Chain A
C-alpha cells in the first residue's frame, strides 16, 4: 500500500474504523467454484469509503455478525511461531446454528458451520536478517471442496461495544483500517507466482495485518475472516495440522513466507 493511497481516505476511513463499523448490510458473498474470477472483490486497495458492503459483516459481536442464531462450538488459541519466534496469536473458532444453545439437528442449518479465524500480531524482528515485523497478507484455510461456500469478514465491534485497536481481547479487537480486499477459493496469496490460482480445497481472505507496517498504517489485528459451509459429516475432533496457512507476500518487499498452523476442519468422510 502506497502512502499516497491513504491520503484520500484517511479521514473518513479513520472515523469509520475507529469509531465504529460503517452501517452496511451484512455482506456474505458466495465464492465461485469454477471459472473466473477466482477472487471476489471485498474492498480492494486503494480502499474506498464508505466501505463496500461486499463481504462485510457487522454487529456488536461476532455471533451477531455471522448470525442469526450462531452458537460457539469450538475455540482454540495458539501462539504463532515463525522461525522459532513468537510473532503473535492465532484464534480459530467454529460456530453452528440452532436454538437454545443447541445446534440444529435438521433443516437447512443442520451441520452448517462458520469457521472464523483472526490473528493478533506482535511488532519486532523475527526472520533473522531484517528488523521487519511479521505480516499476514493472506489468511488461507482448508475447506471442503465441492461444497458451496459463503465468505465474509468482521472488523471487530464498534468502540461503543468495546471495540479497540489496542486491546488484547479477540472479541474486542478492531482491525485498524485493514479491510479484507479479496476472497476466493485459492491457497496462493499476494505476489505468489500462482497468486489466485483456483484450489477449491482452500479459501483465501486477502488482508494486511502487521503490528508495525512499513506502509505507515499498522494493525496488529486482522479482521475475523469467516467461511460458512455445510459439513455433511460434521467436524473433525480437535485441530488438524496444515489447516491454516498464513502467507506473507512481501507487500513492502518482505520475505515470501508460509506459516502452516493447525486448525478446525470439516470431516470429509463418516
Chain B
C-alpha cells in the first residue's frame, strides 16, 4: 500500500514535474516565437494588411502565391506602419514584402516629370515613374541587390496619375501593376502622394500665381513649361501657358483685342461669360498680364463640374 501509494506519489510527482517541464518548454517556445516575430525581417511580415489598407482588390499576385506562403503571410500579418508611404511587392517564388518609403520627389525634365520614391531602410527598393502629363512613359523598380523591374508605356497597365487633391498634390497609383525583369514579374500595389505643385514652383512662377479649383481639387498652376502666343486662321490670338503637367491655360483675344474665351483642359468660358478676366495692353510678343478673379469655366460636354480661376499669369517676353 505504502509502496503503491509511494508509486502513485512518485508517478504524480513525475507527472507534475513533466508537466512543469512541458509548460516551461511551451513558455520558452512562445517567448522565442515572440522574439523572432519582433525581429523578423520586414519582407516576411507581409502584404495582406498593406494591400487591404491600400484598398486594392486581391489580384493575380495574391492568387499566384504558394498556399504555404499565403498561410505564413496571414499568420504573420501584423500591420506594417510606415511614417510616410509604403509599397507592397509580390514576386513569384519569393515572399511578398511591404517596404516603408520616403516622400515622393518630383523632378522636371523638359516635358517629362519623374516621380521618385526611395525606401526608408537599406533593403527597400527605389521606385521611379516617368510621365508626360498623365501618360506613363516608364516605371522602374530597383532593389539594392541590383535587380531591376520595369515597364514601358502601354505595358504599364495599373499605373495612373490621379487628380489633384485640395492641397494641390496628385497621387501616383499602382494597382496590381506588373513590372518585368526577364521572366520574372513584380506585382506592385502602392499609392504615392506627390509634392503639391506650389512647392515645386520654379523661378518661372515669380510674379504670377494662379489657382484653379476643380471640384474638391486645387491646381497651383505655374507655366514653367512655357508661355507664348499663336495667330489663328480667323485672326484671333491664342495666348497659351503650359505647366509641368503639360496642362494648358489658353486665353483667346479677337482681332481687335477683345476677350473671346478662356480654356483649361475640358473647361471653357466664352465671352461675355468670362467674368473676372482682364488682360493688360501690349503689342504682340510683349510682356502681358492676365488676371483672373473668380473666372468660372464650365465643362465643354455640359458636365456639372466647374473650374474656377483666381490669380494671374504673365506672358514672358518672346
Q: Which residues of A contact B (CB under 8 A)?
A: 72-84, 86, 90-94, 169-170, 234-235, 237-239, 241-242, 246, 259-262
Residues of B within 8 A of A241 (CB): 111, 132-133, 246
A255 CA to B101 CA, complexed, in Å: 29
Q: Please state if A84 and B107 are interface contacts (CB–CB under 8 Å).
A: yes
- Given contacts A79-B202, A238-B238, A238-B248, are A73 and B230 in contact (CB under 8 A)? yes
Interface residues of B in 288-318 (CB under 8 A from A): 316-318
Q: Please state if A74 and B230 are interface contacts (CB–CB under 8 Å).
A: yes
Cross-interface CB contact of B318 among A75, A79, A242, A261, cutoff 8 Å: A75
Residue pairs across A and B with Cβ atoms less than 8 A apart, 30 shown, are: A73-B230, A74-B231, A75-B230, A76-B227, A76-B240, A77-B226, A77-B228, A77-B318, A78-B227, A78-B242, A79-B203, A79-B224, A81-B108, A81-B109, A81-B110, A81-B202, A83-B107, A83-B109, A92-B226, A92-B228, A94-B230, A237-B232, A237-B238, A238-B240, A238-B248, A242-B111, A246-B110, A260-B109, A260-B111, A262-B246
A82 CA to B110 CA, complexed, in Å: 7
Query: Which 9 pairs from chain A and chain B are nearest by CB?
Result: A76-B228, A78-B226, A81-B108, A84-B107, A75-B318, A74-B230, A73-B231, A261-B110, A241-B111
Q: Please state if B226 and A242 are interface contacts (CB–CB under 8 Å).
A: no
A83 CA to B113 CA, complexed, in Å: 10
- Interface centre among B111, B229, B246, by most chain A C-beta atoms within 10 angstroms, is B111
Residues of B within 8 A of A73 (CB): 230-231
Q: Please state if A260 and B112 are interface contacts (CB–CB under 8 Å).
A: yes
Taking the closest CB of chain B, its distance from the CB of A101, in whole angstroms, is 9
Q: Please state if A81 and B316 are interface contacts (CB–CB under 8 Å).
A: no
Residues of A within 8 A of B110 (CB): 80-82, 246, 259-262
Q: Please state if A76 and B226 are interface contacts (CB–CB under 8 Å).
A: yes
Taking the closest CB of chain B, its distance from the CB of A42, in whole angstroms, is 26
Taking the closest CB of chain B, its distance from the CB of A95, in whole angstroms, is 11
Query: Which chain A residue lies CB-closest to B204?
Result: A79
Taking the closest CB of chain A, its distance from the CB of B100, in whole angstroms, is 24
A234 CA to B250 CA, complexed, in Å: 19
- Given contacts A86-B203, A237-B238, A242-B132, are A75 and B109 in contact (CB under 8 A)? no
Residues of B within 8 A of A93 (CB): 318
Taking the closest CB of chain A, its distance from the CB of B245, in whole angstroms, is 11
Q: Please state if B316 and A77 are interface contacts (CB–CB under 8 Å).
A: yes
Q: Please state if B111 and A262 are interface contacts (CB–CB under 8 Å).
A: yes
A19 CA to B240 CA, complexed, in Å: 37
Residues of B within 8 A of A81 (CB): 108-110, 202, 224, 244
Residues of A within 8 A of B227 (CB): 76-78
A246 CA to B230 CA, complexed, in Å: 23
Cross-interface CB contact of A75 among B107, B204, B224, B228, cutoff 8 Å: B228
